[in-house]
Amino acid sequence: MKNRILYLFLTIVLTLTGFASAQPKLAKATFAGGCFWCMEPPFDKVPGVVSTTSGYAGGQKKDPTYEEVSAGYTGHAEVVQVLYDPSKVTYQKLLDVFWHNIDPLVKNRQFCDGGSQYRSAIFYHDQDQQKLAEESKVVIEKSGRFKEPIVTEIVALNEFYPAEEYHQDFYKKSSIRYNSYRLGCGRDRRLHELWGQ
């Protein structure tokens, strides 16, 4: 009886260990590009991205609310946190998606939204991300595409706070309102001016 229990225990442990090691190791990336509603869709389309979560980062207040952040009281920026599988998509690819979905030339504003809560920023999670983010910024600066300086911040992520549930996947839940906002904000028109097709 003891041997059967021991065998069963070892089988369970080995199965669980094998199962755990078979799971992909996921990573996170956090970007601020103005309205977080508009930053989820481009990342959700990328193969290897597991999920996106709208939220707040870069401020002083613990557990900020949307009302506080959008009023500019907390120092936070609206951000999207990307959960991804590094074996399927690189951080460099995510940086490329980020840059091509923001206006890197304006400070404390993105499209029709003004204030530091709508600033553009890369919030790095570790030194590797910091290095790659800084390198990607230098590439854009040296490309000659823009005469104005790149003002997008590259800063360490201290804390990420998920936004309220009604903000998550807003472009899917309220597509008419989302598309109306995006069009009215002139986001796609400006992105086309900056980056082309």
Would you name the residues annotated as active-site residues?
35
Q: Which amino acid is at 130?
A: Q
Q: Please say whether the dihedral angle defined by the alpha carbons of residues 142, 194, 114 and 92, taken in this order, is positive or negative.
A: negative
Burial call 14-49: b when 16+ CB within 10 Å, e when fewer: eeeeeeeeeeeeebbbbbbbbbbbbbbbbbbebebb
In whole angstroms, give the CA distance from residue 169 to residue 53: 8
CA distance 192 to 194: 5
Q: Is the dihedral of CA 134, 50, 104, 114 positive or negative?
A: negative
